[in-house]
Amino acid sequence: MIVYLVRRVGQSLLAVMAMAILVFLGVYFIGNPVDVLINPEATQADIIATTERLGLDKPLYQQFGIFIWNALHGDLGTSFVYGRPALEIILDRLPATMELALVALFLSVGIGIPLGVWAGLRPNSIAGRTIMGGSILGFSLPNFWQGMLLILVFAVLLGWLPAGGRGETTEFLGLQVSFLTWDGLTHLILPAINLALFKMSLIIRLARANTREVCLQDYIKFARAKGLSGRRVVLVHVLKNIMIPVVTIIGLELGSMVAFAIVTETVFAWPGMGKLLIDSINLLDRPVIVAYLMLTVLIIVAINLLVDVIYSLLDPRIRLSEMKA
């Protein structure tokens, strides 16, 4: 297990390194930030001075070398716009996005798996068909439109919930969170549902397909032949088998939820990282974009690593082969 973990971490580091090169090159080619940053009436001397101050006059490989060296020391550059370390700006916004993504994940798993299993056990029932029909809407309707409809119905027409913003926050483990105050919670519900709907539909379909497949297996029939209650057959024998593919998808999707909550954050004016990224791209704030992408890569790689570990806990066959490896 240890050997496997070490190897797996090594692979993750390689992925991060490759991503660093891609990100840096990509951002380098999208344009000269000085053109955007500087006062249009500035003189040529000012432009040269600014370029030198930002280190943009150096050749590409030197810039990259400096970037990597600094990154290894935890410095992902200073924002051209805010004049503060890029990482610090992002970390300010990170808790809001993480909170939104985690609550959305909780909703999509907590609702998606039971509905999917139910639909899988009774594929021809009215409930099963309704769940499947609903899930098609869930991932075929555009996310921003779902968000706007949610606002229209629950904030405008019914007036039950606020339309945007984060509401009152309170400190929890040193982070600012919304879900512990009533006001914050009401602000959180709509964006979380909006972000969860797509993943929920995905999990429903995945859970249903796997449930149907597992139910045909001999070991389910054997479990019934042993005289187990229907409850135990479903909650232990079926559920543990369908969790393996579901956990993979959850892992992959959590990464994308954190990284790309942009649409939801924009619709609901949620002050998270996604909104920061959009602003930074508009201003060509290169260090912030790079820092954001690097952080995203780190998060996704870390989640994948975690998923592999959970995987081996769920499936003994994987555990064994890994130990040999």
Partner 1 sequence: MTKLLDVRDLQTHFLTRDGVAKAVDGVSFSLDKGQILGLVGESGSGKSVTGFSILGLVDPPGRVTGGQIVFDGDDLVAGGEPMLRHLRGKRIAMIFQDPMMTLNPVLRIDTQMVETVRAHEKVSRAEALRRSREALVQVGISSPDERLQSYPHQFSGGMRQRVAIAIALLHKPDLIIADEPTTALDVTIQAQILSEVQELCVKSGTALIWITHDLAVVSSLADRLAVMYAGRIIEEGPTAEVIANPRHPYTRGLIDSVPQGKRHGAMLTQIKGMTPSLLNLPQGCKFAPRCPRADDACLVEPSLAPAGADRSVRCVHPHDEPPGKVLAP
**Binding string, 304-323, against partner 1, x = CB under 8 A?**
----------xxxx--x---
- Radius of gyration, CA atoms only, the chain: 24
Would you say 45 or 325 has its CB closer to partner 1?
325
Among residue numbers 238 through 267, which ones bind partner 1 (CB under 8 A)?
A: 240-241, 244
Which of 271, 185, 203, 277 has the alpha carbon at shortest distance from 242?
Answer: 203
Q: What does the block give as tokens for 68?
A: 């990597």
* Cβ atoms of residues 307 and 248 within 8 Å: yes
157 near partner 1, rule: CB under 8 A: no
Q: Cβ 225 to partner 1, closest distance in Å?
A: 4
171 near partner 1, rule: CB under 8 A: no
Q: Which helix (H) or strand (E) holds 175?
A: strand 175-177
| Max Cα-Cα span within the chain | 86
3-state secondary structure of 85: strand
Name 5's Cβ contacts closer than 8 Å, sequence gap at least 6: 309
Q: Cβ 206 to partner 1, closest distance in Å?
A: 17
Number of residues that bind partner 1 (CB under 8 A): 24
Q: Cβ 110 to partner 1, closest distance in Å?
A: 22
217 near partner 1, rule: CB under 8 A: yes
227 near partner 1, rule: CB under 8 A: yes
Among residue numbers 79 through 98, which ones bind partner 1 (CB under 8 A)?
A: none
Q: What does the block give as tokens for 123?
A: 């594929």
Which of 277, 260, 114, 242 has the alpha carbon at shortest distance from 194?
Answer: 260
3-state secondary structure of 197: helix
39 near partner 1, rule: CB under 8 A: no
Q: Cβ 241 to partner 1, closest distance in Å?
A: 6
Would you say 11 or 217 has its CB closer to partner 1?
217
236 near partner 1, rule: CB under 8 A: yes
Name 269's Cβ contacts closer than 8 Å, sequence gap at least 6: 164, 165, 275
Among 229, 282, 324, 325, binds partner 1 (CB under 8 A): 229
232 near partner 1, rule: CB under 8 A: yes
Residues near partner 1 (CB under 8 A) are 216-219, 221-229, 232, 236-237, 240-241, 244, 314-317, 320
